[in-house]
Copies of this chain bind each other. A is one copy, B any other.
Amino acid sequence: PKSYKITLIPGDGIGPEVISVAKETLQLVASQEGIQLQFHEVLLGGAALDSTGVPLPDETLSAARQSDAVLLGAIGGYKWDKNEKHLKPETGLLELRAGLGVFANLRPATVLPQLADSSTLKKEIAEAVDIMVVRELTGGIYFGKPRGFGTNDNGEEIGFNTEVYSSSEVDRIARVAFEIARKRRGKLCSVDKANVLEASMFWRKRVTKIASDYPDVELSHMYADNAAMQLIRDPKQFDTIVTNNVFGDILSDEASMLTGSIGMLPSASIGESGPGLFEPIHGSAPDIAGQDKANPLATVLSAAMLLRYGLGQEQAAQRIETAVLETLNKGFRTGDLFSTGKNNMSRRKRY
């Protein structure tokens, strides 16, 4: 039978609880599909800081690199919040993304019929929303240099970062997005701020160029501020969205909240080759950690994305997705899905 190595990274807060449910799910579906999964657990974020002093231990990165796919719970928490940059849990996650070269972050925001009522949007606006945000993940202002602190010509203190994209960086994320749009409803909206920023003008130029290889996909462009509005005004106008790292961070979170159920939403981060990184989009929710309240479905659905995009095991992926729908159809709900407009899974992010 086919055999795969899976790196599990429970991380912080509710991470360990949701990873353990996803692991059980993977084990079950593997035995049903006759595939073998070997699991290896490693540390990242706050958990790694506490036991090794760094947010991404070498052992974690090399274990991740040597495996076929990586499943991550969540990282971060109040405890490490005042740490300097190189000792923040988040820095470990950014280093892991860069270290694995996973430049394409796929974030589906799908409103399931069973959960259309959970959205704070009116039902007729939210229902049937099905957006895939393709976010560039290893470039842009997150990684651009120069960056840091200094003084300006007036002798005043400053803090600064660099937003920068090269042609190969834009081209490869554009190709991933066109391929995905092609398999969906054939519409791709590239989001930028090309009326103001040179980095965005460049982005738009390259995306437009790559478009000629995908005549079957309808490409449009939208400014980031307008996209933030249009996602609320009429989210169903969107199929696939491609955007840079920082706009993607903001807009994918906005899109996910439209569904009213971020405790349900998975993500996949993939590179040219090598293992992909799969993680729920919610945070580590320290307030509810250890209380068995966390919704594990985002991580379970991330495991499905791992099977599909990471291992090419489409049938196993669908087994998990079907099981999730059946569980919802039976009426099972976690607390985050009950109360419209209140969602504990987002708490981690509130500090």
A residues touching B (Cβ–Cβ < 8 Å)? 76, 85, 88, 90, 94, 120-122, 124-125, 141-142, 144, 147-149, 152, 154, 156-168, 193, 195-203, 221-226, 228-234, 246-247, 249-254, 256-258, 262, 340-343, 346, 349-351
Contacts and interface: CB of A to CB of B under 8 A. Distances in A.
A71 to B, nearest CB: 22
Contacts of A234: 120, 341-342
A85 B201 contact: yes
Given A201-B159, A229-B346, A349-B226, A254 B254 contact: yes
Contact of A226 (B166, B230, B253): B253
B144 A160 contact: yes
A162 B162 contact: yes
10 contacts: A121-B121, A152-B164, A158-B166, A160-B199, A162-B163, A229-B346, A232-B258, A233-B342, A250-B250, A254-B254
B198 A340 contact: no
Contacts of A164: 152, 158-161
Contact of A152 (B163, B166, B257, B340): B166
A167 B223 CA distance: 29
Contacts of A351: 221
Contact of A156 (B149, B167, B201, B222): B167
A193 B157 CA distance: 19
A221 B247 CA distance: 19
A87 B154 CA distance: 31
Given A232-B258, A250-B224, A341-B233, A198 B121 contact: no
Nearest to A258: B232
A169 B203 CA distance: 29
A88 B195 contact: yes
A88 B23 CA distance: 54
Given A125-B340, A159-B203, A229-B254, 16 more contacts: A90-B196, A120-B121, A120-B122, A124-B341, A142-B196, A158-B165, A159-B202, A160-B162, A224-B249, A225-B252, A226-B346, A228-B250, A228-B251, A231-B254, A233-B346, A234-B342
A156, A162, A196, A247, most chain B CB atoms within 10 A: A196
A144 B198 CA distance: 11
Nearest to A262: B229
